[in-house]
Amino acid sequence: MDQTSTPSPAKPLADAPASTAPAGKGALVDPFGRAVTYIRVSVTDRCDFRCFYCMGEEMAFLRRKDLLSLEEIERLCAAFIRKGVQKVRLTGGEPLVRRNLMWLVRALSRHLETGALKELTMTTNGSQLTKYANEMAACGIRRLNVSLDSLDAEKFSQITKGGHLSAVLDGIKAAQDAGMKIKINAVALKGINEDEIPDMMVWAHGQGMDMTLIETMPLGEIGGDRTAQYLPLSQIRDNLAARFHLSTIPFCSGGPARFSEVEETGGRIGFITPMSHSFCENCNRVRLTSTGTLYMCLGQEDAADLRTPLRAGLDDAALENVITEAISRKPKGHDFKIGREDGKPALSRHMSQTGG
């Protein structure tokens, strides 16, 4: 589905040796003393679903020439790993619609073998997992986040504008059969899936999967008012606590979720609350888009252009200096707000462009 070019399958593996720098050497530290050890890399803005809270009816996708090649993405990731990043998450859009993505997965897996990278993972809608799960597991991917907002086939199709729930469920099974652990991510949507959340949680835990709930975020024009969709997770947690025994636990999956253990199911439920409770104080993350734009904060517009210096032929040391300077501008927190007076989203860019 993605219109990007095919990389040579061997050349970068020979020409770009894996990072051997120990974690923490020359580490990236922001102005507030937070070490940046986690990068989310969007490999495409395209997706085979059209979730209504994420994309508008008329989406203008990026042009092929604007996208980083897979070789360029690999080189940037290697630079971040040399600077102490220990976790790389591939995102989209839907990352598995990017042509030849598994080349990139194989290339990045070399850093797992050296120990320079502690985890390589992915966020996916699950639709393509039956094709790629075994190879992903063979490359050292041990965990996946699968975005799934409903277990009702008709409602799922409405949310995704034509997606097939069965394909996602088959993909989840394929990933589990390949030995990967799955965490279900669900966006809490007022009047749409809020009544399903308890049953989805029980289902996920019964399948050996954790579940994380996410508040809808004001990113990108979608042709509607997100205020009608917004559901504070404090309300959802209260509703769950009326039916289940929830105990807050210190478990951390590496992201912003705050987890509770559910006594009745033995599973964990996480809450990502960018709107009702900021998760910025311990932020260790940055996001790289498929065009080479580095966002130091999901909820701010300030960004660094890494594509231009990359294509200008900077050597590794100079490229790392550009990255270090960008991290020196990482803000303290985001500026999300639901229900703005002008009715516009906090940021014009869509989540599919920034990376989930």
Residue 307 lies in a domain: yes
Residue 5 lies in a domain: no
How far is it, in rounded angstroms, from Cα 308 to Cα 326?
Answer: 14
Task: Specify the pLDDT at position 105.
Answer: 98
Q: Please give the residue range of the domain that contains residue 231.
A: 11-354
pLDDT above 60: residue 350: no
Local confidence band at 275 (pLDDT 50, 70, 90 cut-offs): low
Number of domains in the chain: 1
pLDDT above 80: residue 6: no
* Global confidence as pTM: 0.84
Least confident range from 32-41, 111-120, 155-164, 222-231: namely: 222-231
Task: Specify the pLDDT at position 310.
Answer: 96
Local confidence band at 273 (pLDDT 50, 70, 90 cut-offs): confident
Q: Which helix (H) or strand (E) holds 15?
A: helix 11-15
Tell me if residue 182 falls in helix, strand or coil: strand
Residue 2 lies in a domain: no
Q: CA distances (Å), 30 to each of 40, 107, 213, 235, 310, in order?
A: 17, 28, 28, 33, 22
Question: Considering the chain, what is the average pLDDT of its residues?
Answer: 85
pLDDT above 80: residue 15: no
For the segment 261-287, the average pLDDT, to the nearest whole number, is 83
Q: CA distances (Å), 129 to each of 132, 154, 281, in order?
A: 5, 21, 34
For the segment 68-76, the average pLDDT, to the nearest whole number, is 98
pLDDT tens for 212-253 read 999 886 544 445 555 667 888 999 999 999 999 999 999 887
Beta strand segments in the chain, E: 38-42, 87-91, 119-124, 143-147, 181-188, 210-215, 246-248, 258-262, 268-272, 285-288, 293-295, 303-305
Query: What percent of the chain clears pLDDT 70, i.e. is strictly above it?
Result: 80
Task: Specify the pLDDT at position 340.
Answer: 43
Residue 6 lies in a domain: no
Residue 345: which of 95, 2, 53 has the closest Cα? 53
Task: Specify the pLDDT at position 108.
Answer: 98
pLDDT above 50: residue 290: yes
For the segment 206-216, the average pLDDT, to the nearest whole number, is 95
Local confidence band at 206 (pLDDT 50, 70, 90 cut-offs): very high
Q: Are 257 and 212 in contact (CB under 8 A)?
A: yes
The CATH number that applies at residue 44 is: 3.20.20.70
* Better pLDDT: 219 or 44: 44
How far is it, in rounded angstroms, from Cα 50 to Cα 202?
Answer: 27
Task: Specify the pLDDT at position 8.
Answer: 44
pLDDT tens for 171-194 read 999 999 999 999 999 999 999 999
Residue 107: which of 142, 138, 74, 82 has the closest Cα? 74
pLDDT above 50: residue 324: yes
pLDDT tens for 82-128 read 999 999 999 999 999 999 999 999 999 999 999 999 999 999 999 99
Task: Specify the pLDDT at position 356.
Answer: 54
pLDDT above 80: residue 14: no
Q: What is the 3-state secondary structure (H, E, C) of 185-216?
A: EEEECCCCCCCCHHHHHHHHHHCCCEEEEEEC
For the segment 138-160, the average pLDDT, to the nearest whole number, is 97
* Better pLDDT: 353 or 308: 308
Range of 141-150, 225-234, 269-278 with top mean pLDDT: 141-150
Residue 93 lies in a domain: yes
Task: Specify the pLDDT at position 352.
Answer: 47
Task: Specify the pLDDT at position 9.
Answer: 39
Residue 175 lies in a domain: yes
Residue 3 lies in a domain: no
Task: Specify the pLDDT at position 281.
Answer: 76
Task: Specify the pLDDT at position 227.
Answer: 61
Local confidence band at 349 (pLDDT 50, 70, 90 cut-offs): very low
DSSP tag of 66: G
Task: Specify the pLDDT at position 7.
Answer: 52
Beta carbons within 10 angstroms of residue 37's beta carbon:
20
pLDDT above 60: residue 13: no
Residue 231 lies in a domain: yes
